[in-house]
């Protein structure tokens, strides 16, 4: 039984959860303690007690801890990647890539701990000096989803600690393994007891307790729009700081002048890799009419070569869907698309077992063509290996459709035209824009986030993370 880390102690919970491998549902990865509301409050109290001391720790102490965490993650990337692939279903190379990203994030924020700087300004009043500095927010609650079991926790925990905050971390119920492994590494990094707490548990119990507790000064959340709204309402009502990363319905535009191979690679990568379970995945591909038929045929050909199999098996291109609920939802959307009159070009059916007879949540990647912008498969986030193509007359229509969504996380284009690329970068209504690159796949040292209904609050990652994890103080001194 893997336990929670509360106030520096590993503790059992009143309940436990079984972590199951979606590539083989007979494979039990382990049992993990589930904290309840009372234990969550104990973790928050421990964080509150530890926050003051950690807030005054030296940049060197923070650097050393974060650097050690990053080094261990990188040294164990094969093992941690295997665990991640086993519990979430991301194929092994992608899983190892995610672990590497997590290690690099800790290294980056180790450096950020040393780079904390303020401003010294002259006052408008004679004989007065002004200093602008950043201070920790205090206790931060971090609530994460299942689709990036180690990278998203890393990109919330590392800046929180680097900027001197105490952390209460609640991972998603489906992927406790990577979260626990990360917490165990953090527990040996030299950080004082109570500065970092792991509370695995249910969203409605552990998460909700974190939202309501006045001692939690800020909540950083990644997950669904519905839960994001709950986080926002709870935080506004008690004036806590909050940051939300939620859904997307990211467009990828393909223009007549695109390099066909580049366009196909980008669409297949960001539509189907990681089983389409990335908030930056592009599920809407908007293609101008001159290249449309060639593009659809080439993507369909490529999809047929993709191996859907055990996430940890060499040669697998697409692993399973994360669980039965998500699989049922994907299949339901395939049916909705067909009922709405879209043409299912290929895929879309469940594959109950892989070639070795392992029962898993496998699904053939689905490509729809001849879709209309108003169809539900083009307006609602599916979060699976389902991509729909819309045919348009020209760039202007493509840009209009790309932006015609309540979401605004990532937006991509395949074109060899400098004019269109430049215009698209300027006019795409998204937090991240990609030219001749998949919408999914971002660097770890620059801001990540969206606009409109995808995100709320300051950006995550890179030096921009300081905005959320610190509060600004302006000090005046008369000499």
279 is catalytic: yes
For ligand ADP, give the closer residue by CB, 304 or 325: 325
CB 165 within 8 A of CB 53: no
3-class DSSP state for residue 450?
A: coil
Contact stretch for ligand ADP (CB under 6 A) within 143-151, 296-304, 336-344, 351-359: 143-151
Catalytic residue chosen out of the listed positions 94, 205, 279, 381: 279
Of these, 47, 172, 181, 235, which contacts ligand ADP (CB under 6 A)? Answer: 172
Q: How many CB atoms lie within 10 A of CB 75?
A: 11
Catalytic residue chosen out of the listed positions 245, 266, 381, 460: 245
Of these, 25, 71, 224, 403, which contacts ligand ADP (CB under 6 A)? Answer: 224
Contact status: 143 vs ligand ADP (CB under 6 A): yes
Q: Least separation, in Å, of the C-beta of 296 and ligand ADP?
A: 30
304 Cα distance to chain centroid: 28
Q: How many CB atoms lie within 10 A of CB 255?
A: 23
Contact status: 170 vs ligand ADP (CB under 6 A): yes
Contact stretch for ligand ADP (CB under 6 A) within 11-19, 170-178, 186-194, 428-436: 170-178
Which value, to the nearest 10 degrees, does the dihedral of the CA atoms of residues 333, 17, 153, 230 take? 60
From the DSSP assignment, how many helices (H) and strands (E) are in the chain?
Answer: 15, 22
Of these, 16, 29, 74, 208, which contacts ligand ADP (CB under 6 A)? Answer: 208
Q: Least separation, in Å, of the C-beta of 418 and ligand ADP?
A: 38
Of these, 76, 215, 230, 423, which contacts ligand ADP (CB under 6 A)? Answer: 230
Contact status: 144 vs ligand ADP (CB under 6 A): yes
Contact status: 223 vs ligand ADP (CB under 6 A): yes
Contact stretch for ligand ADP (CB under 6 A) within 55-63, 111-119, 168-176, 332-340: 168-176
Q: What share of the chain is helix, strand, coil (3-state, %, to 5)?
A: 40, 25, 35
DSSP 206-253: IIHHHHH-TT--EEEEES-HHHHHHHHHHHHHTT-EEEEE----EEEE
Contact status: 204 vs ligand ADP (CB under 6 A): yes
In 3D space, the residue among 238, 200, 193 whose CA is nearest the CA of residue 219 turns out to be: 238
- Looking only at Cα atoms, what is the longest distance across the chain? 80
CB 176 within 8 A of CB 246: no
For ligand ADP, give the closer residue by CB, 181 or 434: 181
Count residues binding ligand ADP (CB under 6 A).
16
Contact stretch for ligand ADP (CB under 6 A) within 192-200, 207-215, 250-258, 393-401: 207-215
Which spans in 246-382 are helix H?
260-272, 289-305, 324-339, 376-379
Contact status: 173 vs ligand ADP (CB under 6 A): yes
Q: Which helix H or strand E contains 105, and what residues bound it?
A: helix 92-114
Contact stretch for ligand ADP (CB under 6 A) within 24-32, 53-61, 98-106, 203-211: 203-211
CB 1 within 8 A of CB 10: no
Of these, 103, 145, 149, 450, which contacts ligand ADP (CB under 6 A)? Answer: 145
397 is catalytic: no
Active site residues: 245, 279
Please report, as ranges, the residues that interact with ligand ADP according to CB under 6 A: 143-146, 170, 172-173, 203-204, 207-208, 211, 223-224, 227, 230
């Amino acid at each position: 039984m893997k336990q929670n880390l509360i106030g520096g102690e590993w503790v059992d919970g009143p309940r436990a959860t079984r972590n199951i491998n979606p590539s083989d549902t007979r494979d039990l990865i382990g049992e993990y303690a589930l904290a309840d509301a009372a234990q969550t409050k104990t973790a928050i109290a421990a964080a509150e007690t530890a926050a003051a001391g950690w807030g005054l720790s030296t940049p060197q102490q923070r650097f050393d801890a974060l650097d050690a965490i990053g080094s261990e993650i990188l040294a164990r990337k094969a093992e941690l990647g295997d665990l991640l692939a086993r519990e979430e279903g991301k194929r092994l190379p992608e899983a190892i890539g995610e672990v590497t990203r997590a290690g690099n994030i800790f290294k980056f924020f180790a450096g950020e701990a040393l780079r904390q700087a303020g401003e010294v300004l002259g006052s408008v009043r004679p004989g007065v000096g002004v200093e602008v500095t950043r201070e920790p927010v205090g206790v931060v609650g971090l609530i994460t989803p299942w689709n990036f079991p180690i990278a998203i926790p890393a990109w919330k925990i590392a800046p929180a600690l680097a900027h001197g905050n105490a952390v209460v971390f609640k991972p998603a119920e489906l992927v406790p393994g990577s979260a626990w492994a990360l917490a165990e590494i953090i527990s040996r990094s030299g950080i004082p007891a109570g500065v970092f707490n792991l509370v695995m548990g249910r969203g409605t119990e552990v998460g909700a307790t974190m939202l309501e507790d006045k001692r939690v000064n800020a909540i950083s959340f990644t997950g669904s729009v519905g839960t994001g709204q709950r986080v926002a309402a709870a935080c506004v009502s008690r004036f806590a700081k909050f940051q939300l990363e939620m859904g997307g319905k990211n467009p990828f535009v393909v223009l007549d002048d695109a390099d066909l191979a580049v366009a196909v690679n980008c669409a297949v990568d960001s539509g189907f890799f990681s089983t389409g379970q990335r908030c930056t995945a592009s599920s809407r591909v908007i293609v101008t009419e001159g290249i449309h038929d060639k593009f659809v045929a080439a993507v369909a050909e490529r999809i047929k070569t993709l191996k859907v199999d055990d996430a940890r098996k060499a040669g697998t291109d697409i692993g399973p869907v994360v669980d039965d609920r998500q699989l049922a939802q994907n299949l339901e959307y395939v049916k909705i698309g067909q009922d709405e009159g879209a043409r299912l070009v290929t895929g879309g059916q469940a594959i109950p077992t892989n070639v070795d007879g392992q029962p898993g949540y496998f699904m053939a990647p689905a490509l729809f063509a001849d879709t209309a912008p108003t169809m539900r498969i083009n307006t609602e986030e599916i979060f699976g290996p389902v991509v729909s193509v819309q045919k348009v007359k020209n760039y202007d229509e493509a840009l209009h459709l790309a932006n015609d969504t309540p979401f605004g996380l990532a937006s991509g284009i395949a074109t060899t035209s400098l004019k269109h690329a430049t215009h698209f970068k300027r006019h795409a209504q998204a937090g991240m824009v990609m030219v001749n690159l998949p919408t999914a796949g971002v660097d770890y040292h620059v801001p990540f986030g969206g606009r409109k209904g995808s995100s709320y609050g300051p950006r995550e990652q890179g030096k921009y993370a300081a905005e959320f994890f610190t509060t600004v103080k302006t000090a005046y001194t008369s000499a």
